[in-house]
Structure 1
Amino acid sequence: MCLYLCALLLSTLALSSSSGIQKAHDTLSTLLKNRNTDMQHYIDQAAAFAREQKTVSSGHDWWHTYRVWQMAKKIHEHEGGNILVIELAALLHGIDNHKFHNGDLLVGAKTAQAFLESIHVPKDIIESVYDIVATCSFKGAADTSEMKTLEGNIVQDADRLDAMGAMGIARTFAYAGYKNHAMYDPEKPYKQHASFEEYSKNDGSAINHFYEKLLVLKDRLNTKTARAIAEKRHAYMEEFLEQFYGEWEATR
């Protein structure tokens, strides 16, 4: 908004003389260049910070963050939104994940806020990123809360798409191995958790997680772009389960 007002003022002043037009153009070009330089600096710093974080599960490592970051940018190309908020939130969404902090949904957002303040990101951007990081996580099939902004919708969709398809399958088994959960136990059916507290304490098998989260995600996406991408990933997971059960029962 500030940049827009500056451009409007400069354009008005430029009307008074031909030389003013060139001066206005040069000034606006400088403003845009400085703004883009600042934005890239913030993004580079956030990427470095995210990559430095210690991870305790390969399903929630830097490369998960990287994939979410890239997908968020791809969705933004079709959906719009504030790209700085989107990139920063995507890069910081997994910091101090609640899964490894006793279900605390705010610890990651607070860490992200402190980091962004330390590199002097504008306050309004920090507030937007904080809200996204604090609320974008999947909280169980019973949770139907919605993100407040387009930027939040995009980051949440990017995160959820990484829990689908081949990547979602790989991450599910990686996390189950880390938690020492069974790959599959036909005597322990999956649950539709009634609350986040119940979901966060879940100790079911990797296969149960498909029904408790992965297969639910297709209908919980926010943007048209993400929903289109999800179709093939959802179908792939269904095909995997069919093959898995066939091999389990020795029918394939």
Structure 2
Amino acid sequence: MKQDALVQATAHHVEQLFSGEGSGHDWFHIKRVWQNAITIGQAENADLFIVQLGALLHDIADWKFHNGDEEAGPRAATVWLSSHGTPTPVIKQVCQIIKEVSYKGAGVATNPSSLEGRVVQDADRLDAIGAIGIARAFAYGGFKNREMYNPTQPPEVHATFEAYQKNQSATLNHFYEKLFLLKDRFTTATGRQLAEQRHVYMQEFVKEFLQEWHGAEDVPVAFVV
């Protein structure tokens, strides 16, 4: 199958799988990551064929929805790509991107081993911050039956992936445990530039949220932006 045809077939396949998903990891999230990855990939001179397949398949079987199984995504991607006669080197590159794309805790380094992986990771992280990132955080929190905010439950610095996986804290904690940290973890110049304004928007949102919640009371130190 030609490259363009495979990309379009993959997009259609993923759209069918994830349309209507309610946790913030739906088809429109994947589509935004796909488009952001093209934008970043073009600016960074990455292989756009690999970038597009990696972006479209990055959430094909996310560990968060497969009992923490980090190999679920690469397995599902391999089955799909193999069924369309994709060369083994391409499958390996795409699967490596899927393995390396996720955030795994404040204390865990997650630097992709290829330029294409860095592009897809930055595109995915871009959709985790800003106005859409805020909406997705609360959508996922509701999906997981988490409180919006609990001032008696401070954020945690997760030193290991295992600790991050087990985290069940309120959604606002997620801003301190992940979202506010992402700005300094973008690994392409284009991604860093695109992240700046979205980061500022999140900070302003959280400040307003805490002001409305606490009123004249003092905001707990752990939640001062």
- TM-score scaled by length of structure 2: 0.93
Q: Give the deviation of 1:116 after TM superposition.
A: 0.3
Which structure 2 residue ranges, 5 or more long, are not aligned?
Answer: 217-225
Q: Unaligned 5+ residue runs, structure 1? A: 1-36
Task: Tell me if 1:51 matches 2:4.
Answer: no
Given that 2:104 and 2:160 are in contact with CA atoms closer than 8 Å, whether structure 1 keeps it comes out as yes
CA contact (8 A) 1:103 1:197 kept: no
Give the letter for the 2:10 counterpart: A
Runs of 4+ in 1 over 2 A off after TM superposition: 54-58
| 2:67 paired with 1:122 | no
Shift of 1:40: 0.8
Q: 1:56-95 to 2 correspondence within 5 Å?
A: 56-95=21-60
The Cα RMSD (Å) is: 1.2
The corresponding residue for 1:148 is 113
The one of 156, 161, 173 aligned to 2:126? 161
Structure 2 match to 1:236: 201
Larger radius of gyration: 1
2:77 is matched with which residue: 112, 127, 148?
112
Match of 2:182 in 1: 217
Matches within 5 A, 1:154-233: 154-233=119-198
TM-score, normalisation: structure 1: 0.83
CA contact (8 A) 2:21 2:27 kept: no
String of CA shifts for 1:141-161, please: whole Å, max 9, x gaps.
111131110000000000011
Matched letter for residue 96 of structure 1: A
- Output the CA distance in 2 between the equivalents of 1:89 and 1:120: 17
Aligned partner of 1:245 in structure 2 is 210
Cα deviations by residue, 1:17-55 (Å, 9 ceiling, x for unpaired): xxxxxxxxxxxxxxxxxxxx8111110111011112157
What letter matches 1:207 in structure 2?
Answer: L
Q: Sequence identity of aligned pairs in percent?
A: 46
C-alpha contact 1:140 1:196 (8 A) present in aligned 2: yes
Q: How far has the Cα of 1:56 moved from its partner?
A: 4.9
Amino acid at match of 1:87: Q
Q: Deviations over 1:2-28 (max 9, x none)?
A: xxxxxxxxxxxxxxxxxxxxxxxxxxx
- Deviation, 1:58, is 3.3
Correspondence for 2:222: none
How many Å apart are 1:102 and its aligned residue?
1.3
- Matched to 2:16, the amino acid is E
SS in 2 for 1:193: coil
Letter in 1 for 2:174: H
Please tell me the residue identity of whatever aligns with 1:245. Answer: L
Relative contact order: is structure 1 or structure 2 higher (C-alpha 8 Å, sep ≥ 6)? 2
